[in-house]
Amino acid sequence: MSANLIQLLWDSTLQTLYMVAIATLLGTLIGGPLGIFLATSRRGELYSSPIANTVVGLVVNAARSIPFIILAVAIIPFTRWIVGTAIGTSAAIVPLTIAVAPFIARLIESSIREVDSGLIEAARSMGATPAQIVRKVLLPEAMPSIVLGLTLAIVSLIGFTAMVGTIGGKGLGDLGIRYGYQRFMPDVMLAVVIITIVMVQIVQTLGEWIAARFDKRAPRNRGR
C-alpha cells in the first residue's frame, strides 16, 4: 500500500471520528432531554403530561423508523440550508444527528425507567422537587445503563458514517467505496474494515469500563 493511500486512510479515520464525536454530542444534547421527558411525563409521573408524552413519543418513533440512507437523502435540502452544502463531513453530521437523537432518547428513557420507583417515592416524601429527583436520583442511578446505551449509539453511528459515504460524506465509508469497491482495491477495503472493527472494539471496551465506574453495585478492587 502506497504512502498516499496510508495518508488517505489516516485522513478518513480522523473524518469518521470527527463525524461520530460531533453527532454524538449533538444527538445527546437533543435526545437527552427528550428521553428524560418521555421517562417522566406519563400520567401520574413527575412531569405528568400524557398528551405531550404521546405526541413526542410518536415523533421519536417516526424518526427512528426511517432507514438511515433514506433519511440522509430526504433531508438533503435541509442539510444544505443548515451548512450550505450537502457534501462533506459537516454536511454528514446533520443526518447523523437526526438519526441518532431519537435513538438516544429511547435509550435514556429505558434506562431511567429501570430505576426503582421506591427511590422516587422516598425522594418525594422528603420534599424533593421533580427537578431534584431527576438530577439527584434518576440520572445518577441510571448512569451505568445510560453510558452503555450511549456506547451502543456510538457503535451505530460508526456504521452510519459508512453509509453516508455513498451520498458524498467523507470518512472510511467513502474511502472504502471509492477505492475498495469502485477501483477494485481489496487491500484498501480490508484496511477500512479492520480500522472500523478496531474503533468499535475500543468504543465498546471504553463504554463498559466507564459504565462500571458509575455502577455503585459493581465490586471494586481494593489495594492490599
- The domain that holds 19 is classified in CATH as 1.10.3720.10
220: three-class secondary structure by DSSP: coil
179-221 per-position pLDDT tens digit: 777 777 788 888 989 999 999 999 999 999 999 988 776 555 4
Is residue 222 in some structural domain? no
Show the CA angle centred on residue 144, arms to residues 140 and 145, nearest 5°: 110
Is residue 194 in some structural domain? yes
Is residue 221 in some structural domain? no
Joined together, the cell numbers standing for residue 162 give 459508512
Mean pLDDT score of the chain: 88
**How many domains does one find in the chain?**
1
Which residues contact residue 20 at a Cβ distance below 8 angstroms, ignoring those fewer than 6 apart?
96, 154, 157, 158, 161
Domain ranges, residue 165: 3-214
Longest dimension (CA), the chain: 68
The whole-number average pLDDT for the span 160-180 is 82
- The reply to whether the predicted model has a pTM over 0.85 is yes
Give one DSSP letter per residue of 7-44, joined into a string: HHHHHHHHHHHHHHHHHHHHHHHHHHHHHHHHHH-STT
Is residue 219 in some structural domain? no
- Under a CB-based contact definition with an 8 Å cutoff, are residues 105 and 35 in contact? yes
Is residue 48 in some structural domain? yes
Is residue 139 in some structural domain? yes
